[in-house]
Structure 1
Amino acid sequence: MAIWDWALAVYARPGVPEACLKLQDLHGQNTSLLLWAAYAGAQDEAILARACAIARTWDQTALLPLRAVRRGLKPPLPPVDDRAREGLRDDVKAAELRAERVLLETLELLGTGGADAVSALRAASAAWGPRAPDAALVELARALG
C-alpha cells in the first residue's frame, strides 16, 4: 500500500489524530516524519538525518506557512464575511493536506528499514530532536495498530 493511502487509513483510526497532534503541538515533532518512520520501519541514522533535512526544509517552505494561515483564519475577522473566510480556510486546509502528502511521498522514496513502529518512532523523534516523551510515542504506535 502506498504511504498516502496508508496514512489516510491509519489517521482515521481512533486515537491517531489526537496522538499526532499531541506530538506536534506539545512536543515539537513533525507528524509526517513520524508517520513515515512508522510506515517504513525507518531506523538507520543516515536515512533519518536525510528525512529530517527534507522535512525541515518542507516545513519552512510549505507546511508551517500554510498551517499559520489556516489557524489565523479560524476566528471571525470582521468585516470579512464568515462564509467567505471559512471557504478560504477550507482551501488553505486542502493545500496544507496536499503539502503533507507531498512530504510523505517524498520521504517514501528513501526506502524502508524493518524496525517495529515503536523503535522507528523513537529513532525518528530523536533524529528530529529533542526526542518526545516515550509515553507519547508509544501512544501513537498503539493507535497505529
Structure 2
Amino acid sequence: MPTDLWRFAEALYQRPGVEAACLLLQTQGADVCLLLCAAWLERRQIICTNERSDALGNIAQPWQQQVVVPLRQLRQSWREQAQSDHALAQLREQIKQLELTAEREQLERLTACTQNWSSNAANAPLNWLEKLAPQQCNRDALQTLRIAAAHLSA
C-alpha cells in the first residue's frame, strides 16, 4: 500500500468500481479528495475523532469550494462546445490538468494535517468514511472505497 496520500489516491482510484463510486458520491455532494483521505486514514488505522474530522473539513471545504469546484464547473460547462471546437477542447484539457493539480494540493494539505496522528489503539473508532461523507450519500459507494482500499497491496 502506498504510504503517501497522493500515491494511495492514485492507486485506489484505479481499482475496479472506485471511479464510479467516487463520481456518484461527488454528485451527492461529497468531497472526493476528503473521502480518499478518509479511506487512507482507515487503511493506516488512524483513530477517528471529532476534532480530527473537523480539522480535515476545515482544510478541505474552503479549498474545494474556492479552487476545485470552480475549475470543475468551468471544465464541465465547456464539454459540449469543446466537441466541435478544437481550441476550446485544448483549453478544456488544460483546465482538467489544473483541476487535478488543485486536487493534489488539497491532498497534500490534508496529509500535512495528519502528520502527527497516531495509529489505532485497541478498539478505537476508524469510521472515517462515514464521518467525512455527507449524511445522505450512498453507503454502498462508501463501502466500495473501503473494500478497495483494504485490497491495495501492502
TM-score between both structures, scaled by the size of structure 2: 0.80
TM superposition outliers: structure 1 runs of 4+ over 3 Å: 112-116
Q: Please report how far the alpha carbon of residue 113 of structure 1 lies from its aligned counterpart in structure 2 after TM superposition.
A: 5.5
> Identity percentage over the alignment?
33
Distance 1:36 1:15 in 2: 17
Match of 2:113 in 1: 110
1:93 correspondence with 2:101: no
- Structure 2: segments with no counterpart, 5+ residues: none
1:71 correspondence with 2:72: no
1:122 to 130, 139, 154: 130
1:35 maps to amino acid: L
2:15 maps to amino acid: R
Distance 1:14 1:31 in 2: 16
Match of 2:21 in 1: 19
What per-residue deviation string (whole Å, max 9, x for no partner) do you get for residues 13-52 of structure 1? 1111101011111x21110001001112352111111111
Match of 1:59 in 2: 64
Distance 1:6 1:138 in 2: 17
Distance 1:133 1:20 in 2: 10
Distance 1:77 1:9 in 2: 29
Q: Please report how far the alpha carbon of residue 131 of structure 1 lies from its aligned counterpart in structure 2 after TM superposition.
A: 4.7
- The residue correspondences of 1:23-62 to structure 2 (distance < 5 A) are 23-25=25-27, 27-41=28-42, 43-62=48-67
Distance 1:15 1:89 in 2: 26
2:65 maps to amino acid: Q
Distance 2:18 2:138 in 1: 16
